[in-house]
A and B are shown apart, each in its own frame.
Chain A
Amino acid sequence: MKKCKKIISTILGLTMVFSLTACGGSQGETTSNEPAANAQTGTKQEATNDDVIHISYSYWGTPDEAASVQEVADRYHEENPGVVVDIVCIPNEEYVTKLNTMAAANELPDCGIMNEAGVLDFGSKGLLADVSDMYAGADAVPLDSITFKADGKPVAYSAANEILVLYYNKDLFDAAGVPYPSSTEAMTWNEFVNTAKKLTLDVNGKNATEAGFDPENIVQYGCTVDNWTWQLEVWALSNGGRWFSEDGKSCTINTPEVAESIQKVADLMNVEHVMPYRAGLTDDGVQSTICAGNVAMSTGGAWNIGTCLNGVDFNYGVARLPKMKDSVTICTGGPQVVFSQSKHPEEAMDFIKWYMKEENSWDSLIATGIWMPILEKYYTDDALTNSWIDNENFPEHDECVGALVDYAMNNAKSTCWYYVPHTNEFIELLRAVLGDVWTGDATAESVLNENYNALNAIFLGE
């Protein structure tokens, strides 16, 4: 009896040991602990029945963009039956985070559109394959303002040219009897604030210019200037300051012009009361304001035409951003890259080159307004321009020519991440320290001066 008990307990013990090691083995797969994005993680399987190669392509975007990218992937498969592209969607706010984790686990996708802030750092870590010969021998190269450069040499090219513009709700403007913002001539900052005041209404119907206006009970706001951190650089440039010197060798964010530009945006909320409070922590500037219907004007990227403004039930227009001193906008755009950990670099490079050609992303991305073309000829040649903007997805032709085409061609400057490394961490710290500026508890000048050393240390890579 005792021997029986001993045998049973030994078997039981051994079973437990083996089951633990079995499930312990599969635990080695999990590496990331942040909320998982939808769709599958990048898998690199090779089908055993035929020679179909699977390459994974990562990107960010709304479900509409997901459908567009899937169309592109399907079209590539039709033209190249031996290759299937599996698309992986990762939210923009966590894009570099997820890629960092995948890089440490050696599980990066084969290729993808890279978040702009992480490009130069990934390049310096050797995670990006060399794409310098992508446009060798081509008749047209992308605009210089959207070329990523390390030490002056091109490292990647943006897949799309995106600028910041001003959207406005035409119905709310008509109701208040205020003239529309111009798409060919930028308003001055004071004109912008006054227009916003006329469109900020309290619960009694008074606007912000009238006596008896109640700032505690506002039902409609005049404007939102998005303070999602990287977009603040445009105001520094407009005010005659720069976050970094033109050669990218020094950080000049603590100059008075930069501090003043940020303070003016904060004052819209706390002094002028024309902007609803935003903490600057999320990438939903247009969706949560003008698309929600209770804000009359909103700054945002050109991609919103295709991602959220296509579904609104009011008439909207597009205009140039207001200017503080100079009329500028900033251009950005994720570059298509091939990751050096890929097991199928040639197929991935081929897909990327195919994707970068405007004809191949035309219907799903360029004609819907999500992407803007990267080759100069689309901005200078009228026939090509019309083929791009003359469709039902875009607002009126003249508005688009003024606020999208000419604005991008003549007034766009590169965002800092095209020529400065470590921008991901820099912007993260800037976002943290500016928190008190948006609530009105600190001035931009004091915050930038206090934190300049920490910001500079990140810029220098310490």
Chain B
Amino acid sequence: MQKQYKTKKMHKNETLVAYICLIPSIIGLIFLTYVPLAAVLGLSLTKWEGVGIPEWVGFANYIKLFTTDPYFVDSIKVTIYFSFVAVIGSMIYSLAIALLLNRKIPARGFFRAVFYLPYVLPAMAVYIGWSWLYEANFGLFNYILSLLGIHKLKFIASSELVVPSLALIAVWLSGNLIVIFLAGLQNVPKVYHEAAEIDGANGWQRFRHVTLPCMTPIIFYNLLMALITNMQVVTPALALTQGGPGNSSRFISYVMYQYAFKSGKFSYACAIAFVSFLLIGVFTVILFATSKNWIFYEGGEE
């Protein structure tokens, strides 16, 4: 009886301590995430250009976005196109590199650092360097093409090639995915590999039937993070293309920046921000909903 009473009190104390320690994060969550989100939603229902008092207009901003705006509808298509190419490209690239870096090769540590390095370089420096590689008249890639006798390409200056070119830069930058895949690969129990080898499986079969299923939680995490990050892409547009030829690299975040800061139309940009939030939310929900079908958790069904 005494012991039960003591355990209950201990339990209550522990819960109290836990809540006290959580207070900073809850405050952060409320003031840095929920309140701004509500403020953006509220502002998007008004008309406000930076000076004066916001004026209530209801859903007029949203209607204008989807009917007469010359940038927005194209920007949704371009952002989704870029996200798919960049996400699929970087997942395949980083998985392949992680597999290679998991083997016992000489100077393995050096190579791991080299492939991770692009992720930590300053973004503007990276993009300016790549802009010289892609330069339409005298860039390095065009020089190599002209040596091979192929017609020069305009890369980021042409509306068909700009998104694949920018996606290539994003793939090169995906060092963080490599590190996480490496950790996931090292978590695949060796006993499974040995068992498969005994049964006569070759490398490719082991990959498909042992490595990949064990890696599915990590793949899911990387896919989710890469999708969310790449749907908010804005730096290539700001640094290199300013929306590209026509609207072909005009990402949603760039349109938001354009309207908020270049034109001063803050409430309109808030409407764009909210639509972007809903779009990313939809993709995340789809990803979570379909995840049950292909993720294998070693601990069994939860």
Candidates B16, B23, B71, B266; contact of A432 at CB < 8 Å: B71
Q: Is B246 in contact with A17, judged by CB distance below 8 angstroms?
A: no
Between A and B, 11 residue pairs with Cβ closer than 8 Å are: A10-B20, A13-B23, A104-B264, A125-B49, A125-B51, A216-B152, A277-B136, A281-B242, A429-B70, A435-B159, A435-B245
Contact pattern, B 219-257, Cβ under 8 Å of A = 1, otherwise 0: 000000000000000000010011111111010000001
Closest beta carbon of chain A to B165's beta carbon, Å: 13
Neighbouring A residues of B261 by C-beta, 8 Å: 32-34, 97-98, 100-101
Which 8 pairs, one residue from A and one from B, show the smallest C-beta to C-beta distance?
A435-B245, A104-B50, A13-B20, A100-B264, A454-B70, A16-B24, A435-B246, A277-B136
Closest beta carbon of chain B to A100's beta carbon, Å: 4
Q: Is B154 in contact with A20, judged by CB distance below 8 angstroms?
A: no
Neighbouring A residues of B132 by C-beta, 8 Å: none
A53 within 8 Å of B (CB atoms): no
Binding site for A on B (CB under 8 A): 10, 13, 16-17, 20-21, 23-24, 27-28, 31-32, 49-52, 68, 70-71, 124, 136-137, 146, 151-152, 154, 157-159, 238, 241-248, 250, 257-258, 261-264, 266
Q: Is A428 in contact with B262, judged by CB distance below 8 angstroms?
A: yes
Closest to A435 in B: B245
Report how far A270 CA is from B14 CA in the complex, Å. Answer: 74
A66 within 8 Å of B (CB atoms): no
Q: Is B71 in contact with A216, judged by CB distance below 8 angstroms?
A: no
Q: Is A17 in contact with B157, judged by CB distance below 8 angstroms?
A: no
A204 within 8 Å of B (CB atoms): no
Closest to B242 in A: A281
Report how far A35 CA is from B245 CA in the complex, Å. Answer: 22
Report how far A49 CA is from B146 CA in the complex, Å. Answer: 67
Report how far A435 CA is from B136 CA in the complex, Å. Answer: 14
Closest to B244 in A: A435
Closest to B239 in A: A35
Report how far A441 CA is from B158 CA in the complex, Å. Answer: 9
Q: Is B257 in contact with A34, judged by CB distance below 8 angstroms?
A: yes
Q: Is A34 in contact with B238, judged by CB distance below 8 angstroms?
A: yes
Neighbouring A residues of B71 by C-beta, 8 Å: 432
Q: Is A279 in contact with B266, judged by CB distance below 8 angstroms?
A: no
Report how far A436 CA is from B160 CA in the complex, Å. Answer: 10
Report how far A433 CA is from B257 CA in the complex, Å. Answer: 18
Given A2-B10, A104-B264, A277-B136, check contact A439 B24 (CB 8 Å): no
Candidates B49, B146, B246; contact of A216 at CB < 8 Å: B146
Given A20-B27, A432-B247, A432-B250, check contact A439 B154 (CB 8 Å): yes
Neighbouring B residues of A21 by C-beta, 8 Å: 27
Q: Is A454 in contact with B68, judged by CB distance below 8 angstroms?
A: yes
Closest beta carbon of chain A to B249's beta carbon, Å: 10
Report how far A104 CA is from B49 CA in the complex, Å. Answer: 8
Closest beta carbon of chain B to A254's beta carbon, Å: 15
Report how far A315 CA is from B151 CA in the complex, Å. Answer: 35
Neighbouring A residues of B159 by C-beta, 8 Å: 435-436, 439, 441
Given A104-B51, A104-B264, check contact A6 B146 (CB 8 Å): no
Closest beta carbon of chain B to A219's beta carbon, Å: 10
Q: Is A9 in contact with B17, judged by CB distance below 8 angstroms?
A: yes
Given A276-B137, A424-B262, A428-B262, check contact A103 B20 (CB 8 Å): no
Q: Is A17 in contact with B154, judged by CB distance below 8 angstroms?
A: no
Neighbouring A residues of B32 by C-beta, 8 Å: 24
